[in-house]
Amino acid sequence: MQNQKNKKALKIGVVLTDPEDWTARAFINNIDKRGATPVPLNLSALSASLSTADFSIFDIDSKDLELDALLVRDVGISFSLETISFKFDLLRQLEHSMPVMNRPTAIQNAANKFFSFYLFKHAHLPIPRTMITAELEVALKTIETFESAVVKPIFGSQGKGITKLESSQPDLKLKLTELLTERGVLYLQEFVPNPGRDIRVFVVGEEALGAIYRVSISGSFVSNLSQGGRPVRCELTDEMEELAIWATKAVGADFAGVDLIEGEEGLFVLEANGTPSGKGINQACGIDVTERIVELLLERVGETGF
Ligand SMILES: Nc1ncnc2c1ncn2[C@@H]1O[C@H](COP(=O)(O)OP(=O)(O)O)[C@@H](O)[C@H]1O
Ligand SMILES: [Mg+2]
């Protein structure tokens, strides 16, 4: 009874940009189901004052945030370094006084395809050969070695901005020059021949809850659901579980959607997403990952006694 009463009083902020998003709604419903109060928050609508005796972060109605914990669904697209930094710095400040899940550092590590790959490599996880360079000559030599390569934005998502290049294509130098002019730096990765799908494994805490294949639409090598990929139930193997759990740990996340790809010699880790959507796995397997994420966050509030 006492426990129930404590939980009723808990206020859990949910950082989101689209209130209609499946995952955002599922977070809110599950927080509500657990007897806590969900507080939807858009980081763009928050202000920070350093003028008073204490720091304060307040919303559009000038109300100070009085939260017990924060769950991050998504921080939204930002068009400048200053706006994205401000959002993450708000999260970092909030992290001083409450559990924030995922931690801002984990979200940043995961979103960064260069640094996350460094962390994966450090953790001895299998990753496709990858080169990051601002030098055209290095880029050309790399693609000659890889023969078939993908070029990705370092901070990309949803399969956007990914191009496939072949060492044999006559306009290779021109294409690389254009990409280099546009991006300033190139992220080149060996193309992994695969069965036309990738695998998205969901990890919460130290457990893999399930997985889906994302089957690419014909003619596309990108299997993201937002690019038309179709979610199909995938039986988790020990190898998938282990890779996904270690990739999640490597970026420091409490929960993640880990992308794996089936190469000819085995699985490779492609990325760990620190703000994954739970919709695909819910559709394909009936698993609600947000339920376990909310449970883990509430356990964390109890443990830390913030
Ligand atoms: N090295 C690769 N070899 C083959 N396919 C790839 C490779 N990298 C990415 N892909 C395909 O592109 C998709 C998106 O790549 P990913 O690295 O996960 O970036 P994003 O953050 O945009 O999802 C993957 O799900 C996969 O289908
Ligand atoms: Mg991906």
Residue 157 CB less than 6 A away from ligand 1: yes
* Average pLDDT over the chain, rounded to an integer: 92
- Architecture of the domain whose range is 2-102: 3-Layer(aba) Sandwich (3.40)
- For residues 138 and 125, is the Cβ–Cβ distance under 8 A? no
How do residues 47-77 score in pLDDT, each as one tens digit? 888 887 677 787 766 667 789 999 999 998 8
pTM of the model: 0.92
Number of the ligand closest to the Cα of 110: 1
Residue ranges of the domains in the chain? Answer: 2-102, 130-190, 193-274
How do residues 246-272 score in pLDDT, each as one tens digit? 999 999 999 999 999 999 989 999 999
Q: Count CA atoms within 13 Å of residue 287 on its CB side.
A: 23
Number of the ligand closest to the Cα of 161: 1
How do residues 165-192 score in pLDDT, each as one tens digit? 999 999 999 999 999 999 999 999 999 9
Residue 215 CB less than 6 A away from ligand 1: no
What is the fold, at CATH topology level, of the domain defined by 130-190?
Dna Ligase; domain 1 (3.30.1490)
Residue 228 CB less than 6 A away from ligand 1: no
Q: Is the pLDDT of residue 85 over 80?
A: yes
As a CATH number, domain 193-274 is: 3.30.470.20
Residue 162 CB less than 6 A away from ligand 1: yes
Mean predicted confidence (pLDDT) in 77-90: 90
How do residues 190-249 score in pLDDT, each as one tens digit? 999 999 999 999 999 999 999 999 999 988 899 998 888 999 999 999 999 999 999 999
Q: Is the pLDDT of residue 6 over 60?
A: no
Length of the chain: 306
Q: Is the pLDDT of residue 2 over 50?
A: no
